[in-house]
């Protein structure tokens, strides 16, 4: 599919970068003029995906997280969050609401549920010891202008 | 991230401002827990009026504090979440655990 614009942002798996990732997405999306609600939805989904990479993907070793944001035709926003961490052995189980492997850190197990309900499409590809790639799409509403 | 806790007639209000994510939830959690354990308020209202962003880390924060308040014989309440934060709360079904005003 034709890519109208794209940015890539690579950050080490430090929790402070969860906020940095949101800020990057917000600034890039200004050009698409999303509604406040659409921007909130995307920011939240990105925050969940990056947090998963920090908390789970790179739980035992540090590494880089790659965030890609694309503007596609028909006002479709494409987001990819990729890590080369420990991976997920059972993706289906990980995506179940309230499933968490980090209850002691008060992780609610709702990250994927948030991504699923705030975005139009969510795909999770993962392989143990290789890493996890989360891709999401959301179509922004048409503007009157 | 800012937190301001005031006690009025045995009921405490914690006013939060800023963004709640995994990174800064840790600090909030420590500060709220310290207050709950030492002051043992009967009621604690967390005011979300000044919160501009919250992801599912906020859900863990609310659930954990609700549990601790119960253990200390008190009750937690959530106040003034913006419409967008209400959606995150609803997704988690948090209204079944704590009162939202």
Instruction: Give me the pLDDT at residue A107, please.
Output: 81
Question: What pLDDT score does A34 carry?
Answer: 97
Domains by residue range for chain B, with CATH: 2-100 (3.30.750.24)
User: A1 vs chain B: nearest CA distance in angstroms?
Assistant: 30
ipTM score of the complex? 0.92
Residue of B nearest to A110 (CA): B56
First to last CA, chain A: 25
Beta carbons of A18 and B60 less than 8 Å apart:
no
E strand map for chain A: 5-12, 64-72, 76-83, 121-127, 131-139
Rounded-to-integer distance, Cα B14 and Cα B20, Å: 14
Residue A19 to residue B23, Cβ atoms within 8 A: yes
Q: 3-state SS of B32-96?
A: HHHHHHHHCCCEEEEEEEEEEEECCHHHHHHHHHHHHHHHCCCEEEEECCCHHHHHHHHHHCHHH
Output the average pLDDT for chain A.
Answer: 94
Partner B contacted by A128 (CB < 8 A): no
Are residues A14 and A73 in contact, defined by beta-carbon separation less than 8 angstroms?
Answer: no
Q: What is the CATH number of domain A5-139?
A: 3.30.565.10
Question: How much of chain A exceeds pLDDT 90, in percent?
Answer: 81
A26 pLDDT more than 70: yes
Residues of chain B with pLDDT under 50: none
Q: A44 to chain B: which residues are within 8 Å by CB?
A: 53-55, 88
Average pLDDT, integer, range A62-78: 97
Pairing relationship of beta strands A64-72 and A5-12 according to DSSP bridges: antiparallel
Q: What's the pLDDT score for residue A109?
A: 86
Show which residues of A are catalytic.
Answer: 48, 52, 107
Q: How many CB pairs under 8 A join A and B?
A: 63
Q: How far apart are CA B38 and CA B44, in angstroms?
A: 13
Q: Which residues contact B37 (CB under 8 A, 6 or more apart)?
A: B68, B72
Tokens of A26: 């917000």
Give the best residue of B1, B20, B23 to mutate against chain A (max A CB count within 10 A).
Answer: B23
**Residue A1: pLDDT above 90?**
no
Find the closest chain B residue to A42 by CA distance: B55
Q: Is A22 on the interface with B (CB under 8 A)?
A: yes
pLDDT of residue A145: 46
The reply to whether A138 touches chain B by the CB within 8 Å rule is: no
pLDDT at A143 over 80: no
């Amino acid at each position: 599919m034709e890519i109208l614009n794209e940015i890539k942002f690579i950050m080490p798996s430090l929790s402070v970068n969860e906020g940095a990732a949101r800020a990057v997405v917000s600034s890039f999306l200004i050009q698409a003029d999303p509604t406040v609600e659409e921007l909130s939805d995307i920011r939240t989904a990105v925050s969940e995906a990056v947090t998963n990479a920090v908390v789970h993907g790179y739980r035992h070793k540090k590494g880089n997280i790659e965030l890609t944001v694309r503007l596609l035709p028909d006002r479709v926003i494409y987001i990819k969050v990729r890590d080369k961490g420990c991976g997920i052995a059972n993706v289906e189980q990980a995506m179940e609401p309230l499933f968490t492997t980090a209850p002691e850190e008060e992780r609610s197990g709702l990250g994927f549920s948030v991504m699923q309900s705030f975005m139009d499409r969510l795909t999770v590809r993962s392989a143990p010891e290789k890493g996890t790639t989360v891709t999401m799409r959301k179509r922004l509403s048409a503007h009157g202008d | 991230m800012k937190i301001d806790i005031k006690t009025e007639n045995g009921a405490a209000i914690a006013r939060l401002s800023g963004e709640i994510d995994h990174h800064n939830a840790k600090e909030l959690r420590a500060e709220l827990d310290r207050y709950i354990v030492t002051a043992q308020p009967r009621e604690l209202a967390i005011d979300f009026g000044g919160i501009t962003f919250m992801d599912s880390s906020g859900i863990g924060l609310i659930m954990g504090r609700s549990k601790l308040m119960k253990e200390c014989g008190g009750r937690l309440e959530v106040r003034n979440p913006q419409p967008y934060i209400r959606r995150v709360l609803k997704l988690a079904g948090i209204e079944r655990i704590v009162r939202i005003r």
